[in-house]
């Protein structure tokens, strides 16, 4: 048995050692996650009311403006991920897009402060015109670009601080995403309580200003940790590598795949790109294997033949696509909690005794649940499940997503029931609406669903993604969020259009400004039914999915097996000689 140097082991795992990465490097990421999310989540909670009350949008337009903005944020995270994988380090990507985000927040704050930049009331769905509209939409587009770029690279920056070749590093990586979610949750709690209260009770611009300063401090703090970070080598463009596999596979479509897969083209580890990790051949998507067929006498060139590893990278991304698609509907449901549920809260009784609880602060309830349940899950549930299953995360990522999808269905069903109670009471006695805290049921259930789903998908896509595309694959979580928000806008317009034609009143379920005249409960139940059908679809793809083989772990296991076998053979030889 080979003994390791205790000092070397200490330097490897100690946060204060000379080696880069580790606990201290991750702390800078956690601080930015908390501070940047503080203003971001507060804006998500209040912007739908800001659009309606200050920028003079009607009910549907304010909801769709927010969901389109959020969809753009998550979609642009793919751009940030692509840049951080290929052109800039994850740190420099965060700081570059962070500068844009802070600048955009300053523009939003300025427009909220200057009353002459507010539109005059009108009877249209949107009253913003001219220079006011230019300022408004420019700030939103720049904010979406900045926030998206940051979110596409920040999670992967923290995960890069682990040595994934070590068993201990794998366990820490499984825990990292839970702690990353906890840090953003703590920032969110401050955002939806303190900042939201300031926005709704003092002035809108003060809330935006606090969020701007928090983000600025967070990015400065992240930059101060530069000397502690472990930087992963940049790889070739992931989109170029994908295109090469597809083009070569199509070109070789008439060729037969060798019976022995060892005959497929692969390069030596010495010639491999530093960002690339060798992958073993898998049997799925056999047509793509044709890209790795090397003709006799052919000189290996990128657009003529691809390596097995390059083909397997495309296979991994292809296997992920159904998982992404199966989680979109859940994120469509989440969009309702940041739009229509906030409108619901505006028509409820917000008082606790003499204290007026800010309507947009209701998301603090699931956030508090998450901040309490996350440590319990990490310190109690995971170690117990790990002993039973042997899995570093206790149970697999896709099994945890299953729990989240079920809870999201329940949340939408409960939201419809609560809306019936709220509307009936409002029509019966408008002066005595139901308490705001009836909404805590739908928020609380979905908060737990979010805990089981979003952070797990980050971990899943990071661990399963190709080594040179980890930011890009991690951003698939945000891609699902993006499509979910955009789909919410489509559903709102589509449902309004269809129900306007078929209902006796000739009014859509979500028309106008008065929520008490609408059928929001039917829209919630429509999403619950759609989520149930989507859940059946997800179960199929989750059972079909094959996890990536850990080549480094297998190599280490085989090495230890050979060493143990060698020691055993030496002992037997010694006994024979004796």
**What average pLDDT does the segment 173-179 reach?**
75
pLDDT of 492 = 86
pLDDT at position 365 over 60? yes
Q: Is the pLDDT reported for residue 167 higher than 60?
A: no
The CATH code for residues 15-232+327-552 is: 1.20.1250.20
What pLDDT, on a 0 to 100 scale, did the predictor assign at position 6? 40
Alpha-carbon distance 382 to 205, whole Å? 43
Q: Tell me which range, 302-311, 381-390, 504-513, 557-566, is most confidently predicted by mean pLDDT.
A: 302-311
Banded pLDDT at 166 (limits 50, 70, 90): low
Model pLDDT for residues 247-292, shown as the tens digit of each residue? 999 999 888 888 888 888 888 877 776 667 788 888 888 889 999 9
Report the alpha-carbon distance of residue 335 to residue 346 in Å, rounded. 17
Q: Which residue has the higher pLDDT, 295 or 288?
A: 288
Residue 229 to residues 158, 183, 427, Cα–Cα distance (Å) = 9, 19, 59
How does 313-351 read in b/e, with b if 16+ C-beta sit within 10 Å?
A: bbbbbebbebbbebbbbbbbbbbbbbbbbbbbbbbbbbe
Tell me, what's the pLDDT at 578? 40
pLDDT at 451 over 50: yes
Mean pLDDT of the chain: 82
Give the mean pLDDT of 101-110: 94
Q: What is the pLDDT of residue 171?
A: 59
Using one digit for the tens of pLDDT, what is the confidence trace for 527-572? 999 999 999 999 999 988 888 764 444 444 443 444 444 444 444 4
Question: Using 50, 70 and 90 to split pLDDT, how confident is the model at 213?
Answer: very high
Q: In Å, how far are 35, 145, 267 from 69, measured between CA atoms? A: 21, 10, 45
Which pTM does this prediction carry? 0.75
In this predicted structure, what is the pLDDT of residue 260? 86
Neighbours of 125 (CB within 10 A): 14
pLDDT band, residue 238 (cuts 50/70/90): confident
State the pLDDT confidence band at 477, using cuts at 50, 70 and 90. confident
* For the chain, percent of residues with pLDDT exceeding 90: 24
| Confidence bin at 444 (pLDDT 50/70/90) | confident
pLDDT digits (tens, 9 = 90+) for 64-97: 888 889 889 988 988 888 888 888 888 999 999 9
Half-sphere exposure of 500 (CA within 13 A, CB side): 10
How many Å apart are CA 49 and CA 47, to the nearest integer? 5
How far apart are the C-alpha atoms of 45 and 361, rounded to whole Å?
Answer: 7
Domain residue ranges in the chain: 15-232+327-552, 238-313
Spatial contact of 44 and 113, defined as CB atoms under 8 Å apart: no
């Amino acid at each position: 048995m080979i003994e390791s140097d205790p000092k070397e082991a200490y330097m490897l795992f100690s946060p204060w050692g000379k080696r880069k990465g580790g606990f201290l490097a991750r702390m800078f990421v956690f601080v930015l996650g908390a501070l940047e999310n503080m203003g971001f989540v507060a804006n998500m909670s209040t912007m739908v009311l800001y659009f309606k009350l200050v920028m003079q949008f009607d009910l549907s337009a304010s909801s769709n403006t927010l969901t389109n903005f959020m969809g753009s944020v998550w979609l642009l995270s793919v751009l940030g991920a692509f840049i951080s994988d290929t052109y800039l380090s994850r740190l420099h990507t965060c700081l570059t897009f962070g500068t844009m985000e802070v600048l955009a927040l300053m523009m939003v704050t300025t427009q909220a402060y200057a009353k002459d930049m507010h539109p005059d009331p009108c009877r249209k769905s949107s009253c913003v015109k001219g220079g006011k509209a230019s300022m408004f939409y420019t700030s939103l587009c720049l904010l979406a670009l900045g926030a998206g770029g940051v979110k596409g690279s920040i999670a992967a920056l923290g995960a890069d601080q682990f040595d994934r070749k070590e068993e201990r590093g794998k366990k820490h990586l499984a825990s990292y995403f839970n702690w990353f979610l906890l840090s953003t949750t703590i920032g969110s709690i401050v955002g939806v309580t303190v900042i939201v209260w300031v926005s709704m009770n003092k002035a809108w611009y003060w809330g935006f200003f606090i969020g701007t300063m928090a983000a600025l401090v967070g990015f400065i703090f992240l930059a101060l940790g530069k000397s502690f970070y472990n930087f992963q080598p940049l790889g070739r463009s992931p989109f170029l590598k994908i295109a090469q596999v597809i083009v070569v596979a199509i070109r070789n479509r008439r060729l037969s795949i060798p019976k022995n897969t060892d005959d497929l083209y692969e390069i030596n580890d010495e010639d491999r790109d530093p960002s690339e990790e060798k992958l073993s051949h898998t049997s799925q998507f056999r047509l793509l294997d044709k890209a790795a067929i090397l003709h006799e006498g052919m000189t290996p060139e990128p657009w003529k033949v691809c390596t097995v590893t390059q083909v397997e990278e495309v296979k991994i991304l292809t296997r992920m696509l159904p998982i992404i698609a199966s989680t979109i509907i859940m994120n469509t449901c989440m969009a309702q909690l940041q739009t229509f549920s906030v409108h619901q809260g505006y028509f409820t009784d917000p008082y606790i005794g003499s204290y007026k609880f800010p309507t947009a602060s209701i998301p603090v309830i699931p956030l508090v649940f998450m901040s309490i349940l996350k440590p319990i899950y990490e310190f109690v549930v995971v170690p117990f499940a790990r002993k039973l299953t042997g899995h570093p995360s206790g149970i697999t990522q896709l099994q945890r997503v299953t729990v989240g999808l079920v809870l999201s269905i329940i949340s939408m069903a409960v939201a419809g029931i609560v809306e019936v109670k709220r509307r009936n009471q409002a029509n019966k006695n408008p002066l005595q609406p139901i308490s705001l805290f009836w909404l805590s049921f739908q928020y609380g259930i979905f908060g737990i669903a979010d805990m089981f789903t979003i952070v797990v998908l980050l971990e899943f896509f990071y661990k399963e993604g190709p080594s040179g595309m980890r930011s890009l694959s991690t951003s698939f979580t945000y891609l699902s969020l993006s499509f979910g928000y955009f789909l919410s806008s489509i559903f709102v317009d589509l449902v309004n259009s269809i129900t306007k034609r078929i209902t006796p009143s000739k009014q859509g379920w979500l028309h106008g400004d008065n929520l008490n005249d609408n059928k929001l409960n039917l829209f919630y139940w429509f999403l619950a039914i759609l989520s149930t059908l989507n859940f059946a679809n997800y179960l199929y793809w989750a059972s079909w999915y094959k996890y990536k083989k850990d080549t480094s772990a297998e190599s280490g296991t085989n090495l230890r097996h050979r060493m143990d076998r060698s020691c055993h053979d030496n002992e037997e030889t010694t006994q024979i000689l004796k």
